[in-house]
Amino acid sequence: MDTSVIIIGTIMLVALCGPIIYFNRLKANSEKKFIKQLDDYAVSNKYTLDSHDFWSNTVIGIYKSAGKLLYVAKEGGSFAKNEINLHNVKRCRVVEVKNEDKTSVVRLELVFSYVDANTPETSLVFYDATRSNFLLSGELQLIKKWHDLVNSTLA
């Protein structure tokens, strides 16, 4: 009787913990692929990565000594990269788009305006309710952090 209890307990433990371990490893591998994009960019341009963050298939990194910001988002099966030369940026601001009744955020963007007025603004999406999670999970704090980080670099 004791062995059957041990076997059933072991099976239940594996059934409960197995998926958790699997999905944690899957997330860690996904994050490593995104961070590798930043590292490869740094190595190929001889930059030093000062800070980075990863969230929902997106990574952002800043290379302060080079005055560069790299944003990589996975769209479909490929990576879409957006490099911003901070030396050409005049202003960085947060754009928060709310739904019609102004009760919830549907989109968060970090928008860059350039010194050259003819250069169109660049928007980096931190949250989009139509494409990603329907609930905000730290994106408000993250976009504020990057807004402050970029503006301190611009100053």
- At 90-122, the pLDDT tens digits run 999 999 888 888 778 888 999 999 999 899 999
32-65 per-position pLDDT tens digit: 776 777 677 777 777 788 888 988 888 899 988 8
Q: What per-residue confidence (pLDDT) applies to 24?
A: 65
What CATH class does 2-154 carry? mainly beta
- The structure's pTM equals 0.74
Identity of the residue numbered 11: I
More confident residue, 101 or 135: 101
Query: How far lies 51's CA from each of 26, 31, 63, in Å?
Result: 23, 15, 8
Residues facing 108 on adjacent strands: 96, 127
Closest alpha carbon to 87 in 119, 56, 55, 60: 119
Is residue 149 scored above 90 in pLDDT? Answer: yes
